[in-house]
Amino acid sequence: MLNEIAFLLLASLTLAGAVAAMMLRNLVHCALCAAGAFAGLAALYLQLNAEFAGFAQLLVYVGAVAILIVFTILLTRGAEIQPGGTTASPSWWMGVPVGALVAACLVGSIMSSPSLLRLPSQNVQAPVKSIGEQLMTQYIMPLEAIGLLLTAALLGAVVIAMREPPKSEPAAR
Amino acid sequence: MESVIKYLWLMPTAPLVAAGIGALLPRRQRLLSAALAIGAISFSFVLACAAFLATLNSGRAVSNFRWFDFGSTSVQLGWLLDPLGAVMAVMVALVSLLIFVYSLGYMAKDENFTRFFCFLALFAAAMLGLIIANSLLLFFICWELVGLASYLLIGFWFQKPSAAAAAKKAFIVTRIGDLGFLVGMLWLYDRSGTLLFYDGGHGCLERAVAGGMSSATMITLMIFCGAVGKSGQLPLHVWLPDAMEGPTPVSALIHAATMVAAGVFLIARVYPLMTPDTLQVVTWVGAVTAVFAASIAVAQSDIKRILAYSTVSQLGYMMMGLGAGGVAVGMFHLTTHAFFKALLFLGAGSVIHGCHEEQDIRKMGGLRRRMPVTFAAYAVGMMALCGVPLFFSGFWSKDAILDAAQHWSVSQAPFYLGLIGAFLTAFYMTRQICYVFFGKPANREAEHAHESPPVMTVPLIILAALAVVAGFFGTPAWPWFQSYLQGGRAEFDLSKLVEGNQSQVMLLSAGLVAAAIVLSGWIYGRVASRPARDMDPLEAAQPALFACLRRKFFVDEFYDATFVRLTAAFANFSDWLDRDVWGGLVRTVSWLVLAVARFNRGVDESVVNDGFDAGTETVRDSGKWVSRLQNGQVQRYLRVIGLAFCGLLILLLWGAQ
Amino acid sequence: MTTPLANYLILAALLFAVGLAGALTRRNAVLVLIGLELMFNAANLNFIAFWRFNPHPEKLMGLMFVLFSIAIGAAEAALGLALVIAIYRHRRTAQVDQFDSLKG
């Protein structure tokens, strides 16, 4: 009972945050609502006994990605008034039905899936110790790969976003 | 015999080589061309004499060789040396030699002298080849070559339209006869399997022809057709008078002595094949021709035409002799006729030459005093032709024929026809002599006529001598000629002269001849003395008959109206067929092809080109249209991905159900 | 745990759809990226939910996947935003409908 109420609350919070993130005019508001949605999701993870994932979500998404988004909005003058334009792209009226269609398809496939009959497992435990063990044994390769990826992403992002030196200006474009 | 037969092929080859070289000589090499021809014919004459001597003891030698193979059989040709061929060869070579020498003088002023001797040599080669041929095929080849030489020589002055037409006529008419000859030859080959005359027992003359009497009759009748054409018998005689368009030596050589005798020689050669039925036909044709031609000759006024019709008539006699009396009788008259007819023609040539190319006898006269040698020789020839008794060869040979005709078992009509012919012959010859040599000259040319040079008169004298002497070889008192040809011994026995009804026939013919000469001399002797001779006495007496005779019984006109017109119509029809029908077909086909080509081009231009252009346009436009999908808007791409995802999901979920 | 699996899955589907609709609809590039992140998170939720209802949860497969997914998502967000900044520098605009120089 409690569980269901909690779920409903968290779900509506997350969904509301997501819708708001997509519909608000002010970009910073959008960013903050997105952060709220991320937080709601983190709570859902906690409810699902995936504590480590939930806290990782909070740390990474709410703590880093949302802030990154805000920085980008500020750097690209997104907070200012758009000069004479709407928020939506010219073909917004086609995007919503597509989303609706996708939702319908997915929901339809979920409802007709046999996995609905699954029962939740008892006594689910995901201690950090076992996560660490798994990381170091079974998932060592992805771990190293992730490390490489993150290094590359870091370097790439810096290079892309860096202000170009003056001497290569004529070669630009 | 053996050595002669080995070299016998040289006899026709020498003149042939002379002709070949002569054909390549330029026009100014006159002497060389004449020398080649005369030298070659002399060589052939010597060889002929050698052959003659070799055959004196009778017998026969052959030398056959293979020409080509086809399938399992081969075509063989060969040379034959026997009495018949040897005596003919000697006669032909001698007469040819004399005429060649005569031509040196006669054609001296002609600019185509070189060509003349080349053709003469070609003729001599072909004639000699024909005589010694042992195969009917080789005989036919030489026969055609002789015809070719005749065509070339008749039309020697081809710029004259009448000469060109006469040459064409001669060739075409003899061709008609040759068609029969060819059919007969092929038939004979089919029946007997070989065309060699004598082949050690296998020759076509040595065995009976398969198929018996009836096929032999047909074969020999077909072969006789060739003789009819070549020897100018009725109905194919029409070319001989027109052939007088050629130079006089040509008329003498070819159309008196040798080529026209080839027909008679052919019959003599294939005599073993002749059946009694064919011989009947031969005799009748000969008899009718003899009288027919003689009657036409009475009304002619061209000196050479008279002699031409006389030749036709005498050939008829020869045929009659062959048919009724056999090879020896016919060949004897052929030999004597060759000499005196050649003499007459050469004499006529001398007269024409002396009267400056005048050929109408009504414009001549009194040449007896102005051209004595010619007159003497001509008189000898005339008497030989008429058959004046005892000293002249024509008497003995013609008498042999009349004798054989009288003894013919089938009918006496040829005998009477022969007698009528003899009368007419004497009549027209006397008429001719009166007009030409007696009386007063009719015009200035005749007045100033001069005797011909020795190169022309010497052959005349030689021939005159031969015309007298040759007769003595075949009299009944000493029938050497007959025994030479037939085997057996000839004995000199004067009593044979007065034996049986042979003497009756002789007296009868002599009487007829005398009567004719007297009658003709009486009619024309007075006419010849008048300066203005505008009408022939016979013409005055019987104008219609005379006109009919003069117009040669309208035979030429008849042929013209029927055969010639038919052929021309057929030719026109063929031309129409070729031009309009086949030509039209071809044109239609080409039009169709062109239409197809134009259609193709149209298709190519409009369908293919435009289609291609339209295709490429479509591709380009569709490319342009498709490229609009990529408008650079990322959100559109994402939208499409979303739609595709939905579609895939639906497909998987509900397609699987 | 009494909430059935279907709830979580439906929530994830709706979240995904919202993220997609937003990505397709909004003009600003940053908002498109936010939509992208939402879609990512929806997928992560799906994974966690399935892990939870798995008969063998000690395998930790779903959880591991989500961890790595979070890391990758963060890296991708960083890069995407760096790209937006770079484009902004050149084009002076952050509107996606004006980034169409790759059109055919």
SS3 annotation, A29-91 = HHHHHHHHHHHHHHHHHHHCCCHHHHHHHHHHHHHHHHHHHHHHHHHCCCCCCCCCCCCECCC
Which residue type, as a one-letter code, is found at position A81?
A: I
Residue B68 DSSP one-character state = E
Band of residue A119 on the pLDDT scale cut at 50, 70, 90: confident
At residue B355, the pLDDT reads 80
B630 at the C interface (CB within 8 A)?
A: yes
- DSSP alpha helix (H) spans, B407-441: 413-437
At residue A21, the pLDDT reads 92
Band of residue B444 on the pLDDT scale cut at 50, 70, 90: low
- Greater confidence (A95 vs B334) lies with B334
At residue B71, the pLDDT reads 80
At residue C64, the pLDDT reads 92
With the CA atoms of B557, B563, B568 and B570 taken in that order, what torsion angle do they form, in degrees rounded to the nearest 10?
Answer: 160
Q: Which of B622, B637, B638, B646 to mutate: most C Cβ within 10 Å?
A: B638
Coil vs helix vs strand at B81: strand
CA C41, CA C16: separation in Å to the nearest integer? 8
Residue B534 has pLDDT above 70, yes or no: no
By the 8 A CB rule, do B9 and B78 touch?
no
Put simply, the chain A residues between 32 and 51 with a CB less than 8 A from any chain C CB are 34, 37-38, 41, 44-45, 48-50
Average pLDDT of chain B is 84
- Greater confidence (B251 vs B58) lies with B251
B627: chain C residues, CB-CB within 8 Å? 103-104
Average pLDDT of chain A is 85
CA B76, CA B65: separation in Å to the nearest integer? 6
- Greater confidence (B150 vs B554) lies with B150
State pLDDT tens for residues B448-468: 777 778 888 888 888 888 888
Query: How far is C-alpha A39 from the chain's CA centre?
Result: 10
Average pLDDT over residues B496-519: 79
At residue B543, the pLDDT reads 73
List the one residue out of B457, B436, B349 whose CA is nearest residue B107: B349
Indicate yes or no: CB of A102 within 8 angstroms of CB of B653.
no
List the one residue out of B388, B413, B409, B412 whose CA is nearest residue B399: B388
State pLDDT tens for residues C18-59: 999 999 888 888 999 999 999 999 999 999 999 988 887 778
Kindly calculate the radius of gyration of chain C based on its CA atoms and give it in whole angstroms: 17
Q: Looking at the partner chain, which of C23, C25, C100 has a beta carbon nearest the beta carbon of B631? A: C100
By the 8 A CB rule, do B111 and B27 touch?
yes
List the one residue out of B21, B39, B45 whose CA is nearest residue B114: B21
Band of residue B260 on the pLDDT scale cut at 50, 70, 90: confident
What tokens does B45 get?
């004459």
Q: Tell me the backbone φ, ψ of residue B531, rounded to 5 degrees.
A: -70, -40
Q: Tell me the backbone φ, ψ of residue B365, rounded to 5 degrees.
A: 145, 150
- Greater confidence (B105 vs B201) lies with B105
At residue C47, the pLDDT reads 93
By the 8 A CB rule, do B611 and B603 touch?
no
Residue A170 has pLDDT above 70, yes or no: no
Put simply, the chain C residues between 24 and 43 with a CB less than 8 A from any chain A CB are 24-31, 33-35, 37-38, 41
Average pLDDT over residues B620-633: 84
What tokens does B257 get?
């002595």
We find that the CATH architecture of domain A1-79 is Up-down Bundle (1.20)
At residue B619, the pLDDT reads 92
Indicate yes or no: CB of A91 within 8 angstroms of CB of B645.
no
Q: What share of chain A is helix, strand, coil (3-state, %, to 5)?
A: 75, 0, 25
Indicate yes or no: CB of C20 within 8 angstroms of CB of B628.
no
Coil vs helix vs strand at B196: strand
Report DSSP letters for B257-305, one per residue: ISHHHHHHHHHHHTGGG--HHHHHHHHHHHHHHHHHHHHHHTT--BHHH
N residues, chain B: 657
Residue A82 has pLDDT above 60, yes or no: no
Q: Looking at the partner chain, which of B626, B630, B638 has a beta carbon nearest the beta carbon of C24? A: B638
State pLDDT tens for residues B288-345: 999 999 988 888 888 898 999 999 999 999 999 998 888 888 888 998 899 889 999 9
At residue B302, the pLDDT reads 87
Q: Which residue has the tokens 């008419």?
A: B173
Average pLDDT over residues B78-97: 89
> A–B: how many Cβ contacts below 8 A?
29
At residue A150, the pLDDT reads 94
- Domain residue spans of chain A: 1-79, 128-161
Classify residue B260 by burial, with Cβ atoms within 10 Å: 0-12, 13-18, 19+.
buried
Q: Tell me the backbone φ, ψ of residue C61, rounded to 5 degrees.
A: -70, -50
CATH 1.20.1290.10 given to domain C5-98: no
Contact partners of C by the rule of 3+ C-beta pairs under 8 A?
Answer: A, B
Question: Which is it for the CA torsion A43, A45, A49, A53, positive or negative?
Answer: negative
Can you state the angle between helices C29-52 and C61-91, rounded to 10 degrees?
180
> B–C: how many Cβ contacts below 8 A?
35
Indicate yes or no: CB of C21 within 8 angstroms of CB of A107.
no
Instruction: State which residue of chain A sits closest to B645, comparing Cα positions.
Output: A102
Band of residue A93 on the pLDDT scale cut at 50, 70, 90: confident
Residue B18 has pLDDT above 70, yes or no: yes
C-alpha pair distances (Å), B403 with each of B116, B236, B339, B485 = 42, 27, 22, 18
At residue B372, the pLDDT reads 85
Indicate yes or no: CB of A101 within 8 angstroms of CB of B653.
no
CA B394, CA B379: separation in Å to the nearest integer? 13
At residue B562, the pLDDT reads 82
Residue B529 has pLDDT above 70, yes or no: no
Query: Which of A36-40, B100-104, B521-525, B643-647 is predicted least confidently?
Result: B521-525
Residue B9 has pLDDT above 60, yes or no: yes
Query: How far is C-alpha A50 from the chain's CA centre?
Result: 17
With an 8 Å Cβ cutoff, the interface of chain B facing chain A consists of 633, 635-636, 639, 642-643, 645-646, 649-650, 653
B653: chain A residues, CB-CB within 8 Å? 108-109, 112
Average pLDDT over residues B366-377: 84
Band of residue B595 on the pLDDT scale cut at 50, 70, 90: very high
Average pLDDT over residues B85-101: 91
Band of residue A53 on the pLDDT scale cut at 50, 70, 90: very high
State pLDDT tens for residues B155-171: 999 888 989 999 999 99
State pLDDT tens for residues B31-62: 888 888 999 999 999 999 988 888 877 677 77
List the one residue out of B253, B268, B11, B41 whose CA is nearest residue B129: B11
B631: chain A residues, CB-CB within 8 Å? none
Classify residue B575 by burial, with Cβ atoms within 10 Å: 0-12, 13-18, 19+.
exposed
Instruction: State which residue of chain B sits closest to A95, comparing Cα positions.
Output: B639
Angle value at C-alpha B612, between B607 and B615, nearest 5 degrees: 120
Indicate yes or no: CB of C103 within 8 angstroms of CB of B632.
yes
> A–C: how many Cβ contacts below 8 A?
260
Residue A172 has pLDDT above 60, yes or no: no
Query: How far is C-alpha B63 from the chain's CA centre?
Result: 27
CB atoms within 10 A of CB B568: 11
At residue C37, the pLDDT reads 94
CA B259, CA B264: separation in Å to the nearest integer? 10
Instruction: State which residue of chain C sits closest to A142, comparing Cα positions.
Output: C68
What tokens does B144 get?
């055609």
Average pLDDT over residues B561-571: 85
At residue A80, the pLDDT reads 64
With the CA atoms of A161, A162, A164 and A165 taken in that order, what torsion angle do they form, in degrees rounded to the nearest 10?
Answer: 180
What tokens does B169 get?
């006529």
CB atoms within 10 A of CB A98: 22
